[in-house]
Amino acid sequence: MPRIVVDVMPKPEILDPQGKAIAGALPRLGLTGFAGVRQGKRFELEVAGEVTPELLEQARSAATTLLSNPVIEDVTRVEVIQEDAE
């Protein structure tokens, strides 16, 4: 069953308190090589049949209306992946 993956990230200029907290925790595990962390969201829209251009358009619409808030977030990916892919 194909899925449409939508990635949403906080805008670069928006402070990401969760990412900051994670960045603060990494050194406690001895993982000191990272300069920063930003936390986003990944949605997987499952499709029963074939992914048509119309369906992909619907996914893009969902991404910009419901799945993200354009004031604070960017949609960074809307992509079809097949089963067992990735």
Partner 1 sequence: MSVETPLIGDFQPFPSASTEGSLAGVRVGVVTFPGTLDDRDAMRAVRLAGGTAISLWHGDHDLRGVDAVIIPGGFSYGDYLRAGAISRFAPLMEQITAAATGGSGALPVLGICNGFQVLTEAHLLPGSMIKNNSLHFLCRDQRLRVENADTLWTSDYAAGEEIVVPLKNQDGQFVADEHTLDELEGEGRVVFRYVGENPNGSRRDIAGISNAAGNVVGLMPHPEHAVEPGFGPDSSARGEVDLRGGTDGLGIFTSVLKKLVG
For binding to partner 1 (CB under 8 A), which residues are involved? 10, 13-18, 21, 66-67, 69, 71-72
Across the strands, what pairs with 46? 3
Min dist. Cβ of residue 52 to partner 1 (A): 24
Shortest separation between residue 86's beta carbon and partner 1, angstroms: 23
Q: Which two tokens stand for residue 67?
A: 């799945």
Beta-bridge mates of residue 41: 8
Q: Return the structure tokens found at 3.
A: 């899925």
CB of 66 to partner 1, least distance (A): 7
Nearest CB to partner 1, comparing residues 15 and 85 = 15
